[in-house]
Homo-oligomer: A and B are copies of this chain.
């Protein structure tokens, strides 16, 4: 029963019987049969298909909702019983938005100190993806912006507020300033993350409000690419002050606060709002609460 529900979750994720089957480690006929069995047992169609996967029926969507709970609880149960015997072990799966990458290391450091047998998987994703990964049980926690609309299924633990600065060479235009305005930054050629990211939209909005427009010279989905370009002194970018400090500033590479307005957004840990949580997740929440005060500005 529960494994059939896992089939259904995989199907929702992959939108494809064959790939879902592969993800579950079974063959396509097996997964098809599993879904069909669920449908027979409920007496309703769960998936609309006409020679290929289309979408879920109304009933299918409801079952999916329950499946996420039930599968999540059954995993939490196994993890809890395992932890009772062996302490915290296993793999903690975290996804973080790029701009929050600087805070991941302090978090894993604290966690690892207390629970040295836990392994980490850390993925970079955008804010929307993180919420969907969480709800689909593909990660245990996210580190992202906390201003998503609250839906009751997700809890946020604030970590810090990110404030934006211009990361640029000291001899570039604006490079000698103590502070710059968004209108001024809009005039500078910039390296930027791709448009699917939240930081990109935040910056676009701020520039538009200041009467400017973002025209990135270079865009990438990899933070490290932005950084390696900016570090040469020939490019500039906008990033949170904390991230800039973590990556490393030099005499020639400066992080200049951007004002008018002094915008900020809260970054925090997000987890499924289920209690009890999985032990690995609960421990991460505890560490996040411990870490937060030291990140306050």
Residues of A within 8 A of B (CB): 1-3, 42-44, 58-59, 62-63, 66-67, 69-70, 73-74, 76-78, 80-82, 84-85
When distances are taken between beta carbons in the complex, the residues of chain B under 8 Å from A42 are 78, 81-82
User: Which 5 pairs from chain A and chain B are nearest by CB?
Assistant: A66-B77, A1-B2, A42-B81, A70-B73, A59-B81
Q: Decide: A74 near B44, CB < 8 A? Known: A62-B81, A62-B84, A85-B59.
A: no
**How long is the Cα–Cα vector from A70 to B82 in the complex, in angstroms?**
18
When distances are taken between beta carbons in the complex, the residues of chain B under 8 Å from A77 are 62-63, 66-67, 70
> Which of B3, B63, B73 interacts with A66 by CB under 8 Å?
B73
**Contact between A44 and B85, CB atoms less than 8 A apart:** yes
**Contact between B69 and A73, CB atoms less than 8 A apart:** yes
When distances are taken between beta carbons in the complex, the residues of chain B under 8 Å from A44 are 81, 84-85
When distances are taken between beta carbons in the complex, the residues of chain B under 8 Å from A58 are 84
Q: Decide: A76 near B81, CB < 8 A? Known: A1-B3, A2-B2.
A: no
**How long is the Cα–Cα vector from A82 to B41 in the complex, in angstroms?**
10
Task: Report the minimal beta-carbon distance from A167 to chain B, rounded to whole angstroms.
Answer: 46
**Contact between A1 and B74, CB atoms less than 8 A apart:** yes
> Contacts A1-B1, A66-B74, A67-B77 given; 13 further ones with Cβ under 8 A?
A1-B3, A2-B2, A42-B81, A43-B82, A59-B84, A62-B77, A62-B81, A63-B81, A66-B80, A69-B73, A70-B70, A70-B74, A73-B73
